[in-house]
């Protein structure tokens, strides 16, 4: 399909970051799960940096539980990377300012949107989508979870999404046996969703999506709308959801055990999701 290539920096990336994180309560009693640190950075920042590495720089954080912690972090993000001046001698509402121009500072836009403490994943997307759509036109958007790391080539997945002409693309990965399975038909078309993998060759939803504008019709701002249920099931039933297969690294941070495993990768200096580790 021949279409003008849109600028990836203008593609909004919706990051689902509002859940309670009850399976890793050891870490989430004081902070939302996306703010749990791997190394010296919240897992959320690791995710943003991987997208940024591939040219995406417009991020929409769909916050909920303890969303203020996320807002506070990004309010102070620039000051973490720069020297700081706080001058109360001047009449200013914002006396704190960074000193110098740190080249490590990402040139990105981060919008943190309160989508409700009890809202499910589909409802979060719909609420954030409607808010930014008031003043931003976009043909394609990305969606991911705020707790999953991968070395997926996002540029390649994005180009694949643009090439096939369907409304959605989901990253398909090989998981451990605790995840539900994607039922994939001829040509990579998603036929449905199965509760448990049937074989070691099973592929599951890896949580890195691309959607076209009409996907908004599939999600509801109702707080009970779960992305992984009706929206994706209807999209697959309508033959509008394709898979992009990834055989590389993929690891969600669902439990404390997952967090420890990711931390060990970080400490080894060989974390696959770090741009500098990519060959």
Q: CA–CA distance from 73 to each of 17, 80, 112 (Å)?
A: 14, 9, 11
What is the average pLDDT across 8-19? 93
**In this structure, are residues 64 and 128 in contact, taking their beta carbons and an 8 Å threshold?**
no
Phi then psi for residue 86, to 5 deg, are -120, 110
* Mean pLDDT value across residues 1-11: 72
| Mean per-residue pLDDT, 249-276 | 90
Report the largest interatomic distance among the alpha carbons of the chain, rounded to a whole angstrom.
69
CB distance 156 to 247 below 8 Å = no
Question: Does residue 59 sit in helix, strand or coil?
Answer: strand
**Nearest-5° Cα angle at 177, 172 to 179:** 55
106 backbone dihedrals φ, ψ, rounded to 5°:
-65, 140
**Domains along the chain with CATH numbers:** 10-272 (3.90.550.10)
Among candidates 186, 183, 142, 136, which has minimal Cα distance to 162? 142
Closest CA to 242 of 154, 161, 128: 161
Share of the chain above pLDDT 70, in %: 83
If we measure between CA atoms, which residue out of 58, 61, 83 comes closest to residue 73?
A: 61
CA distance 80 to 270: 24
Residue 268 has pLDDT above 80, yes or no: yes
Chain centroid to CA 20:
16
- The answer to whether residue 278 scores a pLDDT higher than 50 is no
Extract the tokens encoding 40. Answer: 């010296």
Sequence-ordered list of residues with C-beta below 8 angstroms from that of 186, at least 6 positions apart, any chain: none
SS3 readout for 189-248 = EEEEEECCCCCCCCCEEEEEEEEEHHHHHHCCCCCCCCCCCHHHHHHHHCCCEEEEEECC
| 52 pLDDT more than 90 | yes
Residues 51, 157: contact at Cβ < 8 Å?
no
- Where does the pLDDT of residue 18 fall: very low under 50, low under 70, confident under 90, or very high at 90 and above? confident
- 55-80 pLDDT tens trace: 999 999 999 999 999 999 998 888 77
Segment 26-44, tens digit of pLDDT: 666 778 899 999 998 999 9
Model confidence, pTM = 0.85
pLDDT exceeds 60 at position 185 = yes
**How many Cβ atoms from other residues are within 10 Å of residue 167's Cβ?**
21
pLDDT band for position 1 (cuts 50, 70, 90): very low
For 145, the token pair is: 């979870």
């Amino acid at each position: 399909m021949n279409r003008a290539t849109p600028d990836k920096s203008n593609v909004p990336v919706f990051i689902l970051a509002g859940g309670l994180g009850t399976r890793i309560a050891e870490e989430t009693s004081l902070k939302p799960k996306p703010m749990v640190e791997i190394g010296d950075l919240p897992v959320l920042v690791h995710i943003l940096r991987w997208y940024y590495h591939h040219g995406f720089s417009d991020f929409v954080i769909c916050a909920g539980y303890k969303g203020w912690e996320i807002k506070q972090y990004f309010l102070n993000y620039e000051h973490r990377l720069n020297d700081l001046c706080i001058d109360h001698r001047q009449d200013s509402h914002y006396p704190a300012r960074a000193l110098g121009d740190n080249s490590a500072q990402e040139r990105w836009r981060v919008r943190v949107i309160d989508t409700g403490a009890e809202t499910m994943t589909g409802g979060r997307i719909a609420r954030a989508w409607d808010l930014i759509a008031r003043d931003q036109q976009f043909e394609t958007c990305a969606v991911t979870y705020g707790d999953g790391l991968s070395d997926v080539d996002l540029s390649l997945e994005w180009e694949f999404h643009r090439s096939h002409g369907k409304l959605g693309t989901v990253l398909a990965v090989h998981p451990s046996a605790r995840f539900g399975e994607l039922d994939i038909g001829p040509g990579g078309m998603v036929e449905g969703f199965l509760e448990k993998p049937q074989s070691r060759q099973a592929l599951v939803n890896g949580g890195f999506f691309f959607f076209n504008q009409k996907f908004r019709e599939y999600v509801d701002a109702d707080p009970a709308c779960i992305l992984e249920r009706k929206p994706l099931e209807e999209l697959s039933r309508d033959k509008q959801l394709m898979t992009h297969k990834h055989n590389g690294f993929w690891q969600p941070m669902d439990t404390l055990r997952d967090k420890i495993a990711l931390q060990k990768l970080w400490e080894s200096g060989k974390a696959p999701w770090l741009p500098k580790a990519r060959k």
